[in-house]
Structure 1
Amino acid sequence: MRKIVVTEFLSLDGVAEAPDSFFTDWDDVVDASIPRAIATQDAVILGRRSYTEWSQFWPSSQIEPFATFINGVAKYVATSAPLDLDWANTTVIDSGLVEFVRDLKQQRGGDIGVHASISVAQALLAADVVDELRLVIAPCIVGRGRRLLDGLPSLRLESIGSETSPTGYLLVDYRVIR
């Protein structure tokens, strides 16, 4: 069975919204975490907002290895509104998100990533379909903004890896315990 792996950039107080505003000291350790995070993924689930923002940036980006990965990977977009599908390998999820993901997990393939899409990550965590959580936590308190873990039911996690970068970012990987 395929795994659902949520990867998010957060502040210490859990804010996931607009991480580019508080990820200011990107270092080699954080940079090296990207290829590891995407190495086993062959599909990505995005929410509409992330899709819209990313489809305007990544197709012409030279930021590697993520640009090659995200432009080539199968992208499934959770939205109920019409969507411009100009970005290669994009499919709209036309059924319920959780049911779609449960079905996708049963198909052959690699891991399925959830990147940046806060609402999608929250819905999948609440529905208990996420297998791993990979967090990069910035050494700052933002104070306001959408938080990844707000409103979720209780979840038990097992640490499967952690590292501190030279500039103080925490990279923590968890497995969801069922």
Structure 2
Amino acid sequence: MGKIVVSSNVTLDGVIQDPDGQEGFKHGGWFKQFVGKDLEAWAENETDETLHAEAMLLGRKSDEWFAARTPGRTEPWAERMNSLPKYVVSSTSKKPKWTNATVLKDVVKVVSRLKQEVSGDILIYGSCQLVRTLIEHRLVDEFRLIVFPVVLGAGERLFGETTDKTPLRLVRSQTLGEGLLLVIYEVVRAASR
């Protein structure tokens, strides 16, 4: 059975918006500004995570973002990203921009089926709207958050309003380099509380 894993870089106050500074957000570019000498540890973590994944699930904008930056790169992380099967959720796009990708329309129904068909981790990078939909429908199994040492005070946050609580259990926490914190939480299902 597949496991939906949300993997995200976030600021201490939960902002995920414009980490590379290319969206025009006034606080954008925080990734490069605050990763500093921790970049190598961050990259090792991302590579390990990707090498152990079985598929990716993305929203349309994240598909476009990665498709513009990853093909042709030869480091192990990029090669694995390019080779993984990808499922792109979009109500407007008919053709994904990235390789090995399939467009999905009915997100809740299809992701539920995908979890039955894929054995292993199904990674979600970016894709804020998709993540919020999956949280609302209780389809996320795990959150892997790399917390950056900055409070932006404004911006799009990973977690939005939901109709109910989502109980979590801490699986692991560790520092990456000197200033980043990796926290991994699994979603607690009602039967296992």
Q: Same fold (TM over 0.5)?
A: yes
Residue 88 of structure 1 aligns to a residue in which SS?
A: coil
Match of 2:84 among 73, 87, 105: 73
Whether 1:23 and 2:35 are equivalent positions in the alignment is no
Give the fraction of aligned pairs with identical amino acids, expressed as a percent: 34
Match of 2:146 among 132, 136, 155: 136
The separation in 2 between residues aligned to 1:105 and 1:85, in whole angstroms, is 21
In the alignment, which residue of structure 2 is the partner of 1:104?
Answer: 114
Whether 1:161 and 2:172 are equivalent positions in the alignment is yes
Gapped runs of 5+ residues in structure 2?
Answer: 21-28
How far apart are 1:150 and its partner, in Å?
1.9
Gapped runs of 5+ residues in structure 1?
Answer: none
How far apart are 1:9 and its partner, in Å?
0.5
Which segment is superposed worse, 45-54 or 147-156?
147-156
In the alignment, which residue of structure 1 is the partner of 2:52?
Answer: 40
Whether 1:127 and 2:137 are equivalent positions in the alignment is yes
2:5–2:141 contact (8 Å) kept in structure 1: yes
2:88–2:96 contact (8 Å) kept in structure 1: no
The separation in 1 between residues aligned to 2:40 and 2:185, in whole angstroms, is 22
CA RMSD of aligned residues (A): 1.6
2:15–2:152 contact (8 Å) kept in structure 1: yes
How far apart are 1:53 and its partner, in Å?
1.5
Which segment is superposed worse, 168-177 or 77-86?
77-86
Tell me the TM-score normalised to structure 2 length.
Answer: 0.85
How far apart are 1:119 and its partner, in Å?
1.0
* Aligned residue type for 1:17: Q
1:27–1:167 contact (8 Å) kept in structure 2: no
How far apart are 1:86 and its partner, in Å?
4.8
Aligned residues: 176
The separation in 1 between residues aligned to 2:178 and 2:118, in whole angstroms, is 39
Provide runs of 4+ in structure 1 moved above 6 Å. none
2:66–2:98 contact (8 Å) kept in structure 1: no
How far apart are 1:106 and its partner, in Å?
0.8
How far does the alpha carbon of each residue in 1:108-152 deviate from its partner, in whole angstroms, 9 at most, with x for none? 432111111111111111111111100001000112211001213
1:7–1:113 contact (8 Å) kept in structure 2: yes
